[in-house]
Structure 1
């Protein structure tokens, strides 16, 4: 198993960074390797990723989600799992850390997992996320619910437990 970890500091409040990150269907706007994302349910997300001729689709289950703190997932194909953590550094500054654990034994699987390209994609994606959210200054949507042990809890307003992304600029 290989682990990739990247951290970036972003000049927005932790709530803004977290709220934007939970708008998974908007990832193609700032992460070049993400082709499309479909939020099937609050805890189930289908991803299509790729670079050049290499393409991969997978479904990930969100196993834990805590507002302003953590989103943790596992791919249903068993190839990877990980987490994104959010740490308030000051009222207007947030540290975002992505950890991805890839599975594979042997040279063929290590090459297929593409740890080098995955590390570059995570690093680049975080840099583009920073530019994206700092440019907006506010999240384009939010879902404030929690997920623990597969159980989805509605957000603090009592709204239904499903994300409702919106884009404020048309």
Structure 2
């Protein structure tokens, strides 16, 4: 299993960032490839464009609220997982750390694209872009 971690500092209080992370309907606005998202209790259904077509994935989200950590793992589709961790820097600034866990072969089979180092570089750029999109969304009241 490969793991990638990235972080970004956001100019909002921790509670504001935490709330936005928990609104599934905002996921298409900051997660590349997600076309639609809806919560169903502890499960979230994502319509994701993968390999030139839209596929539905089910994700189980678990909160460790006292630690400000939201973990996720697919329960259908490819085996993927990760976590979002929030750290209050001060009253108006928060660090969001994202961890993404994946099997390189699964990514290629599901989404297509490059393999090896090139795949890792594409995933890293994608994660950085998603974090930047989240920052813009949450800082502008989304």
Aligned counterpart, 1:120: 125
Query: Which structure shows the bigger proportion of residues in helix conformation?
Result: 2
Deviates more, 1:120-129 or 1:57-66: 57-66
User: What does 1:1-150 align with in structure 2 at a 5 Å threshold?
Assistant: 1-41=1-41, 43-50=42-49, 53-66=52-65, 69-77=68-76, 79-103=79-103, 108-109=105-106, 111-112=108-109, 115-116=119-120, 117-136=122-141
Deviation of 1:49 after TM superposition, in Å, equals: 1.8
The alignment's C-alpha RMSD in Å is 2.3
Q: Please give the alpha-carbon distance, in whole angstroms, between the structure 2 residues aligned to 1:101 and 1:31.
A: 16
Report which of the two structures shows the higher radius of gyration computed on alpha carbons.
1
Q: Give the SS at the match of 2:127.
A: helix
The answer to whether the Cα contact below 8 Å between 2:79 and 2:106 also exists between their aligned partners in 1 is no
Task: Tell me, yes or no, if the aligned pair for 1:14 and 1:88 is still in contact at 8 Å.
Answer: yes
TM-score (norm 2): 0.80
Q: Secondary structure in 2 aligned to 1:89?
A: strand
Change (3 A) 1:68 1:16: farther
TM norm structure 1: 0.68
Query: Aligned partners of 2:67 and 2:106: how far apart in 1?
Result: 35
- Contact residue 18 and residue 68 of structure 1 kept, 8 A: no
Mapped to 2, the partners of 1:96 and 1:5 lie a distance apart of 11
Unaligned runs of 5+ in 2: 112-118
Equivalents in 1 of 2:50, 2:109: separation in Å?
A: 13
Offset of residue 21 of structure 1:
1.1
